[in-house]
Amino acid sequence: MQPDALGIAVDFAREALVLAVLLALPLLGAGLVIGLAVSVLQAATQVQETSLGFLPKLLAVAATLFMILPWMLGALTDYATGLFRALGERWLF
């Protein structure tokens, strides 16, 4: 690999990691908020049912995924388009 090719590869790897964090953050945040709310509710009512905490988190993550899926696909498409465009400009032409 050429020195500036290595820099380009590192830049795209860094962008991929940042994008992965940005895409996962809303789903993890929804699960965290709902999990915390269910835990507080279980502690207040002294109901310690394990399945009670799972279903609301699953539904919250699924609903969040459904709502932000267009944004997620757009972000992934933009990243892939930029990656392939840079590869095409750098090595194919």
What would the pLDDT profile of 38-65 be if each residue is shown by its tens digit? Answer: 989 988 988 877 778 889 999 999 999 9
| 12 half-sphere exposure, CB direction, 13 A CA radius | 16
Provide the 10 A C-beta neighbour count for residue 30. Answer: 20
Rounded to an integer, what distance in angstroms lies between the CA atom of residue 7 and that of residue 47? 55
H and E: helices and strands count for the chain = 2, 0
Q: Which of 56, 55, 52, 32 is nearest to 42 (CA)?
A: 52
Percentage of the chain exceeding pLDDT 70:
94
pLDDT digit string, tens, across residues 60-83: 999 999 999 999 999 999 999 998
